[in-house]
Amino acid sequence: MKKKSHFKLLLCTVLVVFVVVLVAETLIVKVQATNLRKEPKFYSPTLAVLKAGENVEKISSQAGWYKVRTSKGLEGWVHSSAVKTKKFTLLAMDKSLKTQATADEVALAGKGFNKQVEEKYKAKHSEINFAWVDRMLKIKVTPKQLEKFLRDGKLGEFGGEQ
């Protein structure tokens, strides 16, 4: 019995070490879409658009930004608020273990409060109007507009008094 628990402890330790080593390497996109940018700036030109759930490899970090490499080999910058370090989950190895809730974003993708729940809610409340919410989401500010606005308004790195 004692040996068994020792074994478990040892096994867990090995796995935890494995997790610690790997989380430093792989990042997963947690927002719907984020830009892979040429430079660590929000108004920097976009190299590619990364979608939710996409994995990228972390190369280095700098003041809230990560330099990353995509699966296609592209290198660029993503902001830390758009990604999370990938957690090691063994859910895939045994279906019987899926009975517990997990904080893992990948395992939960599309599973919680989702479109299906929204549709059900809408069916119950036809008086609640989502049309403007969808219109609101279509309003986009491009990196170019952002840069011009900052530059013209003497804001951010274009400001003098900071």
Partner 1 sequence: MRASKLKIRVSSLIIITAVLISCASIQEGVEAISKIRLSSSDKEAIVKTTKALRSSFADITEEEEYYIGRAVSALIISKYPVFQNGALTRYINIVGNTVAIYSNRPETYAGYHFLILDTEDVNAMAAPGGFIFITRGLLKRCNDEDMLAAILAHEVGHVSAKHGLRSIKKSRLIDAFKIIGLETAKKFGPEKLAQLTAIFENILGDITEKLIERGYDRKYEYEADKLSVEFGTRTGYDPNGLLDFLETMKDDSSGISKKGWFKTHPSAKDRIDKVKKEINSLKAVPQREAVRTNRFKRAMKNLK
Q: According to CB under 8 A, which residues from 12 to 41 bind partner 1?
A: 12, 14-16, 18-19, 22, 25-26, 30-32, 34
Minimal distance, residue 22 CB to partner 1, in Å: 5
Tokens standing for 47?
């190299």
Minimal distance, residue 149 CB to partner 1, in Å: 5
Q: How many residues bind partner 1 (CB under 8 A)?
A: 82
Minimal distance, residue 98 CB to partner 1, in Å: 5
Site track 123-162 with partner 1 (rule: CB under 8 A), x = hit: -x--xxxx-xx--xx-xxx---xx--xx-xxxxx-xx-xx
Q: Is 117 in the site for partner 1 (CB under 8 A)?
A: yes
The one-letter amino acid at 120: K
Task: List the one residue from 24, 49, 74, 92 that touches partner 1 (CB under 8 A).
Answer: 92
Nearest to 112 by CA among 126, 128, 101: 101
Nearest to 149 by CA among 42, 35, 33: 42
- Helix (H) and strand (E) counts in the chain: 5, 7
| Backbone dihedral angles phi then psi of residue 121, each to the nearest 5 degrees | -65, -45
β-strand partners of 46: 37
Minimal distance, residue 11 CB to partner 1, in Å: 6
Q: Is 100 in the site for partner 1 (CB under 8 A)?
A: yes
Tokens standing for 116?
């299906």
